[in-house]
């Protein structure tokens, strides 16, 4: 028998698809690579100043998130030839300063700077987020590959990106298509969104679903708005959700959990919605991403009390030593809070804890550690409201109404549907696997984007037609190089009113095979869609104002070869289920009895399967 330390043979592995929260956690916990920034003289504080926006305009104490780089070096290069004798030699001279990556902000001086930096540190990636996060990702991937006999050289390895598509890390292409930090921020939750889209969304009713992804470190909220205007007339006031936990054998011992300090909330109504600029943990990323908002709190988030404030996260206790109840000398976490509140039943978990991995969860240790924090733990609705505010972001800032959607919950615990106005919950039989299921069903994508900065008018329409053709061909060629033949493209225009900076991404149904005049009609439809989206989001329209196209984007999509069978109708009356046991669980403001059911008694809805 092979030992646990032996490498895994990969001869029988066809492909591997993965999603990871390495980049997300590094950003939330600020433990990425140590980096320095080289920039044109006079612009030292450019990235620190940003756009001077104030998300909380009524706060007296404005807290600016810290930048990712530790040191800035200004070089003379803008209006005079690059001076090699400038302050380049001062990098790292200050006492107790050290960094591992350097960012070159401007391309023309990159070659000149490279030779000087060889004696200091290796060249970094041009984008600050990439330089900060990519080394962590590469380290994670290398450790994963080291567990296989041939380091997966003969296996197709694909990673989930923030835009919901897969990228092939083994493909010898340029850096734009590699799995870098800026494209991996939402790699983890993106799989969950794809999972609920493939299992819970009814294309006939077109009823939106809301997913609540409860992870170990972070909370995410994302949205998809296609079909929304048509859905409004089809909705009733009921709301549907899907619950999922990662421990399948103990599913019903966990669904009573209403703890919401950590969750990923997603909305899907027919298509994935992307945004071009998002801010995560105070860092603005300009790359196509699913519309997801992240809260730095999860199941492994550390509980602490400091300066009169009870804090949940963003630090995580990790898997080792883990929470206090793991019997490994860990720290208090939300998992311990669940145990104290009666929402985790140790007798239904395997005895895999302790130094020798042969003991049960230690509830006594959690109780002892929580004694001084009991009052604050019981006031957990504070974090509940935090997750709720992220959910209401879809309603208050974008005019989405939660009561008109289904609720889909996946991963560890139950959601805050009672706070967000959600009335019906859909429990998927394999809800604990929805994130992995979504990654298995995801397509390989190739994104191509080009700035245009043209007024949207009948005169400029031919330009957009031609550029779409060029970009589509480029995206298709990249996918063909990887061995795909079933490819289709989605086309987007980044539109805004002239003299404003609030751009909206609008999808076009452009088809290069249709007649030219048909595409002109489609562009007019895009025009109308922009007006509708703008009014829904901002509440008004700027009449008689030109529309400017900042850039156009083509998303090439290749089928991954995984097909879904039709959903199997297998529902039953939940009232017919028999309780296995009863337990006392803390709900909201008091302690009450709760019934625990075994999933053996249930037939399930939306039991989708996939075929290779």
Domains and CATH numbers, the chain: 15-159 (no CATH), 187-297+391-441 (no CATH), 301-378 (no CATH), 445-559 (3.30.1490)
Confidence band, pLDDT 50/70/90 cuts, at residue 121:
very low
- Tell me, what's the pLDDT at 368? 86
pLDDT band at 351 (very low <50, low <70, confident <90, very high): confident
Q: Lowest mean pLDDT of 118-132, 140-154, 282-296, 408-422, name the range.
A: 408-422
Of the two residues 363 and 309, the one the predictor is more confident about is 363
- Give dist(CA 213, CA 299) in Å, integer: 11
Burial environment of residue 9 by CB neighbours within 10 A (0 to 12, 13 to 18, 19 or more): exposed
Judge whether residue 585 has pLDDT over 50. Answer: yes
pLDDT at 562: 67
Going from the C-alpha of 531 to that of each of 110, 197, 534, 544, the distances in angstroms are: 42, 27, 5, 12
Is 218 or 471 the better-scoring residue by pLDDT? 471
CA gap 69, 35 in Å, rounded: 5
Most confident of 121-135, 142-156, 188-202, 219-233: 142-156
Question: What's the CA gap between 260 and 382, in Å, rounded?
Answer: 9
In 3-state terms, what secondary structure has residue 252? helix
Tell me how far apart the alpha carbons of residues 186 and 438 are, in angstroms, rounded to a whole number: 14
Of these ranges, 78-92, 241-255, 410-424, the one predicted with the greatest mean pLDDT is: 78-92
pLDDT for position 273: 74
Give how far Cα 609 sits from Cα of 195, 425, 434, 606, Å. 11, 21, 11, 9
How high is the mean pLDDT of the chain?
Answer: 69
| Helices 22-29, 128-145: inter-axial angle, 10-degree rounding | 130
Alpha carbon separation from 228 to 55, 152, 164, 496, 503 (Å, rounded)? 27, 43, 20, 21, 20
In this predicted structure, what is the pLDDT of residue 258?
Answer: 26
CA distances from 509 to 445, 503, 512, 547, 558 (A): 18, 19, 10, 19, 17
How far apart are the C-alpha atoms of 56 and 494, rounded to whole Å?
A: 26
Task: Find out whether 551 and 536 touch, Cβ atoms under 8 Å.
Answer: no
Q: Which of 171, 213, 172 is nearest to 195 (CA)?
A: 213
Q: How far apart are CA 409 and CA 251, in angstroms?
A: 13
Can you tell me which residue has the tokens 């790292």?
92
Angle made by CA atoms 496, 501, 502, in degrees to the nearest 5: 60
Residues in the chain: 612
Greater pLDDT, 300 or 139: 139
* Radius of gyration (C-alpha) of the chain in whole angstroms: 26
According to DSSP, the β-strands at 309-316 and 406-411 are: unpaired
Whole-number Å distance between alpha carbons of 216 and 65: 23
Write the pLDDT tens digit of every residue in 378-388: 655 555 555 55
Backbone angles phi, psi at 316, to 5 degrees: -115, 145
Phi, psi at 529, each rounded to 5°: -65, -35
Cα three-residue angle 427-430-436, rounded to 5 degrees:
125
- Residue among 453, 533, 553, 451 at smallest CA distance from 498: 453
Residue with tokens 């070659």, as numbered in its chain? 111
* DSSP string for residues in 350-369: -S-BTTTT-B---HHHHHHH
When mean pLDDT is compared across 156-160, 404-408, 457-461, the lowest value belongs to 404-408
How far apart are alpha carbons 593 and 81 in whole angstroms? Answer: 77
Q: According to the model, what pLDDT value does residue 281 have?
A: 75
In the predicted model, is pLDDT for residue 521 greater than 50?
Answer: yes
Q: What is the pLDDT of residues 46-93, one digit of tens each?
A: 778 776 777 677 777 777 778 888 888 888 876 556 555 555 555 555
d(CA 12, CA 476): 30
Residue predicted with more confidence, 350 or 83: 350
Tokens of 529: 């869609």
Cross-strand pairs, 323: 331
Better pLDDT: 181 or 111: 181
Rounded to 5 degrees, what angle do the CA atoms 243, 247, 250 make? 85
Q: Average the pLDDT over each of 303-312, 442-451, 541-550 and give the range with the smallest value.
A: 303-312
Q: Between 499 and 46, name the one with better pLDDT.
A: 499
CB-CB contact of 443 with 165 (8 Å): yes
What distance in Å separates the CA atoms of residue 116 and residue 577, rounded to the nearest whole number?
72
Residue 135 has pLDDT above 80, yes or no: yes
Position 191 scores a pLDDT of: 81
Q: Which residues contact 246 (CB under 8 A, 6 or more apart)?
A: 411, 412, 432
| 342-354 average pLDDT score | 82
Most confident stretch, 179-193, 288-302, 569-583, 589-603:
179-193
Structure tokens at 547: 């529309």
Sign of CA dihedral 16, 18, 23, 26: negative
Q: How many Å apart are CA 523 and CA 465, to the nearest integer?
A: 10
How far apart (Å, rounded) are the C-alpha atoms in residues 566 and 559? 18
Q: Evaluate the CA torsion angle 383, 384, 390, 392 in order and state its sign.
A: negative
Q: pLDDT at position 421, please?
A: 56
The 10s digit of each residue's pLDDT in 29-52 is 888 888 888 877 887 887 787 767
Predicted TM-score (pTM) above 0.75: no
Share of the chain above pLDDT 70, in %: 58
Residue 425 pLDDT level (bands cut at 50, 70, 90): low
């Amino acid at each position: 028998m092979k030992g646990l330390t032996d490498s895994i043979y990969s001869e029988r592995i066809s492909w591997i698809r993965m999603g990871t929260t390495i980049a997300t956690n590094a950003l939330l916990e600020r433990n990425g690579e140590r980096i320095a920034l080289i920039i044109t003289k006079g612009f030292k504080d450019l990235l620190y100043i940003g756009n001077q926006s104030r998300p909380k305009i009524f706060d007296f104490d404005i807290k600016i998130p810290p930048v990712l780089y530790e040191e800035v070096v200004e070089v003379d290069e803008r209006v005079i030839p690059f001076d090699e004798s400038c302050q380049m030699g001062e990098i790292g001279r200050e006492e107790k300063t050290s960094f591992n990556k350097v960012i070159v902000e401007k391309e023309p001086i990159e070659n000149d700077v490279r030779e000087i930096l060889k004696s200091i540190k290796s060249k970094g990636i041009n984008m600050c987020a990439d330089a900060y996060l990519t080394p962590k990702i590469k380290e994670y991937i290398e450790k994963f590959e080291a567990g296989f006999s041939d380091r997966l050289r003969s296996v197709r390895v694909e990673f989930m990106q923030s835009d919901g598509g897969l990228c092939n890390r083994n493909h010898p292409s340029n850096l734009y298509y590699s799995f870098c930090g800026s494209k991996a921020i939402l790699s983890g939750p993106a799989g969950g969104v794809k999972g609920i889209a493939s299992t819970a969304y009814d294309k006939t009713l077109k009823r939106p679903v809301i997913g609540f992804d409860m992870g170990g470190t972070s909370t995410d909220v994302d949205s998809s708005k296609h079909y929304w205007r048509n859905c409004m007339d089809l909705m009733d006031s009921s709301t549907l959700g899907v619950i999922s936990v990662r421990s399948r054998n103990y599913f019903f011992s966990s669904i009573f959990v209403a703890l919401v300090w950590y969750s990923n909330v997603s909305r899907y109504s027919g298509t994935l919605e992307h945004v071009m600029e998002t801010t995560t943990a105070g860092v603005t990323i300009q790359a196509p991403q699913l519309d997801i908002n992240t809260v730095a709190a999860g199941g492994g988030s550390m509980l602490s009390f400091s300066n009169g404030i009870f804090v949940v996260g963003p630090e995580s206790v990790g898997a080792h030593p883990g929470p206090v109840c793991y019997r490994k000398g860990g720290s208090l976490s939300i998992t311990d809070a669940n145990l104290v509140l009666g929402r985790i039943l140790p007798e239904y978990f395997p005895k895999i804890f302790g130094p020798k991995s042969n003991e049960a969860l230690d509830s006594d240790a959690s109780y002892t550690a929580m004694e001084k924090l009991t009052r604050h733990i019981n006031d957990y609705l504070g974090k509940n409201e935090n997750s709720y505010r992220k959910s209401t972001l879809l309603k208050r800032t974008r005019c989405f109404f939660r009561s008109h959607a289904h609720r889909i919950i996946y991963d560890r615990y139950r959601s805050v549907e009672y706070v967000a106005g959600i009335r019906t919950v859909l429990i998927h039989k394999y809800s604990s696997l929805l994130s992995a299921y979504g990654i298995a069903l995801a397509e390989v994508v190739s994104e191509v984007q080009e700035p245009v900065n043209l007024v949207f008018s009948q005169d400029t329409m031919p330009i957009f037609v031609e550029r779409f053709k060029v970009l589509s061909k480029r995206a298709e060629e990249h996918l063909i190089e990887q061995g795909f033949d079933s490819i289709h493209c989605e086309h987007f225009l980044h539109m805004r009113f002239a003299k404003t900076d609030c751009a909206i991404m609008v999808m076009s149904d452009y088809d290069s095979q249709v007649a030219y005049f048909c595409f002109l009609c489609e562009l007019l439809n895009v025009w109308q869609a922009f007006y509708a989206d703008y009014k829904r989001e901002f509440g008004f329209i700027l009449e008689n104002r030109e529309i400017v196209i900042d850039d156009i984007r083509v998303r090439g999509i290749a089928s991954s070869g995984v097909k879904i069978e039709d959903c199997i109708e297998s529902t039953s009356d939940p009232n017919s289920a028999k309780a296995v046991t009863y337990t006392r669980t803390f709900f909201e403001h008091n302690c009450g009895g709760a019934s625990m059911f075994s999933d053996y008694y249930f037939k399930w809805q939306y039991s989708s399967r996939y075929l290779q």
